[in-house]
Chains A and B, each alone.
Chain A
Amino acid sequence: KAGVTQTPRYLIKTRGQQVTLSCSPISGHRSVSWYQQTPGQGLQFLFEYFSETQRNKGNFPGRFSGRQFSNSRSEMNVSTLELGDSALYLCASRGSGGAGGELFFGEGSRLTVL
């Protein structure tokens, strides 16, 4: 079974630009969540999607958005990039839609904002 795939792995943007990151979950997984990881803050929850519906959103500004498609693939978008958005963005999928299931993470997309 293929794992969680994130693209692109690395990208460099400048302030004010926007970026779209993609995540393909494990086949059959309908829950996809996104996390931002920085050295100072650790893993911070961005949002979670299940069957194309956003079920929960973390404490991030509206510049961060996401969506999920009918095939469970997910994208997240960050508009008007700021230097502080430089981070590793991790996508995780789960087989269970409820509590108690483990997260399967992708390798992440490393975003650098200059």
Chain B
Amino acid sequence: SQKIEQNSEALNIQEGKTATLTCNYTNYSPAYLQWYRQDPGRGPVFLLLIRENEKEKRKERLKVTFDTTLKQSLFHITASQPADSATYLCALDSNTGNQFYFGTGTSLTVIP
């Protein structure tokens, strides 16, 4: 069955630094990989989608890479701010669109 691991449960970084979150998966070859942000007590919010034939995607201070050989995605937040503190989830599309597989998330804290 599919297994998705996100690097660590919690990550603390200093404001202004770049946060790098990792998503590794096994037993699967997704056509799409997505990243979501979740704040406490709220539903996840979509951030970025990257396709299997794309190496990198950017949106403002966010950057996602997708290495289908390593079966890994990296999610970067540059010039991090305390407002970026949240849990970040990676999600793999089932290729049919009927189901997503989510990692357990990484809780990011940006320290002022």
Q: Which residues of A are interface residues toward B (Cβ below 8 A)?
A: 4, 31, 33, 35, 41-45, 48, 50, 55-56, 58, 90, 92, 94, 96-108, 110
A94 to B93, CA, bound (A): 12
Q: Mark B76-112, 1 if CB is under 8 A from A, else 0.
A: 0000000000000101011111111111110000000
Q: Which residues of B are interface residues toward A (Cβ below 8 A)?
A: 31-32, 34, 36, 41-46, 49, 51, 89, 91, 93-105
**Known pairs A44-B102, A99-B95 / 16 extra A-B pairs, C-beta < 8 Å:** A33-B99, A42-B105, A90-B44, A94-B97, A97-B97, A99-B31, A100-B51, A102-B46, A102-B49, A105-B43, A107-B42, A107-B43, A108-B41, A108-B42, A108-B43, A110-B41
Identify the interface centre among B31, B89, B102: most chain A CB within 10 Å of its CB: B102
Task: Assess the B99–A31 pair: CB atoms within 8 A.
Answer: no
Min distance, Cβ B5 to any Cβ of chain A, angstroms: 11
A56 to B46, CA, bound (A): 22
With both beta carbons as reference points, the residue of chain A lying nearest to B104 in the complex is identified as: A42
With both beta carbons as reference points, the residue of chain A lying nearest to B51 in the complex is identified as: A100
